[in-house]
Amino acid sequence: MHLMRAVITKRRTAALLGLGALTLAACGTGTGTGSSDAGGADTGGTDSETTTSDRTEVGALSPRIVLAHEGGVTTLDSTDGATLGTAELEGYVRLNPAGDGRHVAVSASDAVTMYDTGLLVQGHGDHFHYYVQDPALTDLSVEAPHPGHVVPHGDRTAIFADGTGAITLIDPASLGDGQLEVLEQTATEAPHHGVAVPLADGGLLTTQGTEDARSTVQVLDADGELVAETDDCPGVHGEAAAQPTESGDVISLGCGNGSVIYRDGEFHKVAIEGDYQRSGNQKGHPDSPIVLADHKVEAEPAGGIERPTEIALIDTRDATMQTVDLGSPYWFRSLDRGPDGEALVLTYDGELNILDPETGEMLHEVPVTGEWTEPEQWQEAGPMMSVADGTAFVVDPAAQTLTMVDIASGETYRELELPVVPHEIQVATGTASGEYEIAPGRDEDAGDSEGHEEHDHGEDSEEHDHEGHDHEGHDHGEDA
C-alpha cells in the first residue's frame, strides 16, 4: 500500500506569510483606500477589530467579477462593468474560489495568496448588514511551489503544491477576520500533479503518484489513518463532489480508463467501452448525484488535442455513465453547473448549452460568443464562464465582452465590455452559498432583463468543486 505521511496538525491565529506572499503583496494595488488585511466580518457574522473606515454600508450586494489577465487581476462591478480594483502580478495567474464567497485564491509565483473582493456580510441578531470596500490583494498567503488545485469543500479548503506534494488545509472562515488559519499540513509521498479534497467527517481524499505517473487515490480518516484506496485510476485528474449519501461525501475523479467514484466508504469503477476513456474535467453539485464531465476517447489524438463533441453525465449512485453529443466541440473551461444542478457547456459554435443532468435533455441553447476554436496552448485566453446567483457569466475574450445569462430561463439580460483580455474568471457574491439580496436597480439598466427577477436567488451557486484542469500540451502530458 502507498501510505501517506502522518498528518501534522498546526493551529494558527495569525496570517501565514511566505516569501512568495511578500512579493505578491508588494505588487497589489487597489483603486481606492481598500485595506489589504481583509478586515471585516466573515459570513458567519464574526466582527473584526480592524478598521472599518474604508467600508460603505449598502442595502444589498451585487456580484463582483474577478478576471486574471496578463499583468495581474482586475475586479469589475457586475451591474455596470466599472473597474473596482486592479492588482499587478508577474507571471501566469490562476484563480480559484477560496471557500468563503468573498475571497479568491490567486495562484502565482509559487504561492497561493488571498484576494479580497471587498464584499462583506455581517450578522446582527436575526438579520445581516452588507458592506463594500475596495478589492485588494492581501498578505494572507500559503507557500506552494508550482501551486496546483485549490479545493474548498465543507468548512475547509485544501491547497495542493505540485512541486512538493505539500497539502495545506485552511479555515476559509478565518479570512474575513484578516487571518489565515492553517488547520493541517501534510504531504504526499512524492511531488506530482495531484489534488486533495477535504471530507465532511474530518478526513481527506488525496492522490498519490510521481511526476511520471499517478494512479492511486487514498482516503484518510481524521486521524490520518488509511481507510480506502484504489490503484485503478491511471493519470488521475479532475475531481468533483456530488450529492452525499447518508454515509458521507461522494467524490468522482477522472482516470484514463474510466472514472472512479468514492461512495459509502469504498471506491467504485465506472465501466467503459474499450480501453481508454478520460474525464479529466468534472463538475459536481451538492444536490445532484450526477457529475458533468468531459468525454475523451483518443489516447493519442492527432495534433495532440482531442476536440470531443460528447459530454459525460456520470451517475454516482450506480457508477454508470451516459453521453450526450452536443454537435460541437468544447474545452476544459467550458463546463459548469447551474443552481439546480443544470449541466452547462460552452461549445465552439458560440452557444451555452443548458441540459438536464438526469436525462441529458437540452433545456436551452443560448448564443453567447462568436464561433471559436480551442487555442493551441491551454494558458491562452478562450471562452469561459463562472456561475453565481443563478447566472452564467460568460466571457468572450476575442470580443472582450461578458454576457450574463439567467440559467433558469435561458435569457440573456446583460452584456459588459471588458477592459482586459482575461484567461480566467471567478465571480464572488460575498457568501459561500452565493446567497444575497438582489441589489436595487440591478435589472433596470440591463437591456433585455425580462424575467430575471423571477429567478430563485436562494440556491447555492458558488461551486465548491474546483474543475479538473485537464489540458493537452502541458508538461504533465494532458493535465495542468
List Cα–Cα distances, 399 to 84, 159, 457, in angstroms.
21, 33, 29
Are the C-beta atoms of residues 272 and 450 closer than 8 Å to each other? no
How confident is residue 194, by pLDDT bands cut at 50, 70 and 90? Answer: very high
CA atoms within 13 A on the CB side of 166: 18
Which pLDDT does position 105 carry in this prediction?
98
Which pLDDT does position 31 carry in this prediction?
36
Which pLDDT does position 123 carry in this prediction?
87
d(CA 308, CA 311): 8
Are the C-beta atoms of residues 440 and 210 closer than 8 Å to each other? no
Give residue-wise pLDDT tens across range 227-238: 999 999 999 998
Tell me the whole-structure pTM to 2 decimals: 0.84
The fraction of the chain above a pLDDT of 90, given in percent, is 76
Q: Is the pLDDT of residue 93 over 80?
A: yes
Are the C-beta atoms of residues 414 and 394 closer than 8 Å to each other? no
Average pLDDT score over residue span 301-312:
94
How confident is residue 468, by pLDDT bands cut at 50, 70 and 90? Answer: very low
Are the C-beta atoms of residues 32 and 87 closer than 8 Å to each other? no
Residue with more model confidence, 130 or 3: 130
d(CA 356, CA 362): 6
Are the C-beta atoms of residues 76 and 415 closer than 8 Å to each other? no
In the block, cell 498546526 appears at 10
How confident is residue 432, by pLDDT bands cut at 50, 70 and 90? Answer: confident
Environment class of 417 (CB within 10 Å of its CB; exposed 0-12, middle 13-18, buried 19+): exposed
Mean residue pLDDT across the chain: 84
In the block, cell 456561475 appears at 387
SS in 3 state form for 67-99? Answer: EEECCEEEEEECCCCCEEEEEECCCCCEEEECC
Q: Rounded to 5 degrees, what angle do the CA atoms 336, 262, 105 make?
A: 45
Q: Is the pLDDT of residue 360 over 80?
A: yes
Are the C-beta atoms of residues 238 and 468 closer than 8 Å to each other? yes
Q: Is the pLDDT of residue 209 over 80?
A: yes
User: What DSSP character marks residue 477?
Assistant: S
Determine the number of helices (DSSP H) and then strands (DSSP E) in the chain: 1, 36
Helix (H, G, I), strand (E, B) or coil at 19: helix
Give residue-wise pLDDT tens across range 397-425: 999 999 999 999 999 999 999 999 999 99
Q: Is the pLDDT of residue 280 over 60?
A: yes
Which pLDDT does position 289 carry in this prediction?
98
CB atoms within 10 A of CB 83: 15
List Cα–Cα distances, 38 to 34, 50, 176, in angstroms.
9, 9, 6
Q: Is the pLDDT of residue 471 over 60?
A: no
Average pLDDT score over residue span 184-204:
98
Which pLDDT does position 276 carry in this prediction?
97
Give residue-wise pLDDT tens across range 45-61: 333 334 456 899 999 99
Average pLDDT score over residue span 194-200:
98
Are the C-beta atoms of residues 368 and 360 closer than 8 Å to each other? no
d(CA 425, CA 431): 17
Which pLDDT does position 125 carry in this prediction?
86
Give residue-wise pLDDT tens across range 323-351: 999 999 999 999 999 999 999 999 999 99
List Cα–Cα distances, 296 to 195, 245, 323, in angstroms.
21, 28, 11
Give residue-wise pLDDT tens across range 64-90: 999 999 999 999 999 999 999 999 999
